[in-house]
Amino acid sequence: MNLLRIIIKYTAILILSLFLSKNIIAEEFGTKDEALALLDRAISLVQEDRNRGLDLITSGEGGLHPKDLYPFCLKDNGILLGHPTSVGLNITNFKDSSGKDVGKELIKIAKYNEVNTIDFVIARLTTDDEKEYIKTQLVTRVVDLICVVGYYSQ
C-alpha cells in the first residue's frame, strides 16, 4: 500500500512539473495568436502613419517587442525599413541552414489583404541554445511595405 502511495505521489509531482514547465515556456515565447495580434498592430500603425509606424516597429515602444516577438517591415527590394536591430539590411540573400531561400520567398508570398506563412529553421536568438527550431513568419503587404511577424512554431 505504501508503494502505491509513493508511486501516485511521484506521478502527480511529475505531471505537475511537466504542466508548469510547459506554461513557463508558453510565457517565455510568443504564440501564433500573439504573433497575429502583433502583425495586426503593425499593419494599423503603418496604415495610420507609415513613418511613425516604422519608427515604433524599430524602437519597440508601446509593447511592440513582447517576449521573443517583433514586427518588421521591408520594401520589395528586400531592404528593412523597420526592424529592432537591422534597419537598412537587405534580406534577399537570407537563407536558413537547410539552404531555403527565405528572404526571396518571403517577398514572393507577400499579398495585400492576406496573411501568408513561410517556415524556416533557425536558432532562438533570445537564448543561448544553439539548437535550431522551426520559425513561422506571418507575411502580408500593407501600404507600400511587406510586414512580418515570426514565432517559433516548434
- Whether 11 maps to a domain, the answer reads no
CB < 8 Å & 24+ apart, contacts of 23-28? 27/67, 28/67, 28/68
Q: Pick the closest to residue 30 from 60, 64, 67 (CA basis).
A: 67
Which pLDDT score, from 0 to 100, does residue 129 have?
Answer: 74
Q: Is 28 helix (H, G, I), strand (E, B) or coil?
A: helix
Bridge partners, 71 (sequence order): 149
Displacement of CA 140 from its chain's centroid (Å): 14
- Whether 94 maps to a domain, the answer reads yes
Question: Which of 2-6, 32-36, 46-50, 102-106 has the lowest average pLDDT?
Answer: 2-6
- Whether 19 maps to a domain, the answer reads no
Q: Is the pLDDT of residue 50 over 50?
A: yes
- Whether 9 maps to a domain, the answer reads no
Which pLDDT score, from 0 to 100, does residue 128 have?
Answer: 73
pLDDT digits (tens, 9 = 90+) for 134-143: 999 999 999 9
- Whether 106 maps to a domain, the answer reads yes
Q: In what order do the strands lie in the sheet with 116-123?
A: 80-82, 71-74, 145-152, 132-142, 116-123
What CATH number does residue 57 fall under?
Answer: 3.30.450.20
Question: Which of 2-11, 12-21, 63-72, 135-144 has the lowest average pLDDT?
Answer: 12-21
Q: pTM of the full predicted structure?
A: 0.80
- Whether 136 maps to a domain, the answer reads yes
- The number of distinct structural domains making up the chain is 1
Q: Which helix (H) or strand (E) holds 152?
A: strand 145-152
Q: Provide the domain limits for residue 61.
A: 30-152
- Whether 50 maps to a domain, the answer reads yes
pLDDT digits (tens, 9 = 90+) for 111-151: 999 999 999 999 887 667 789 999 999 999 999 999 999 99
Q: Is the pLDDT of residue 99 over 80?
A: yes
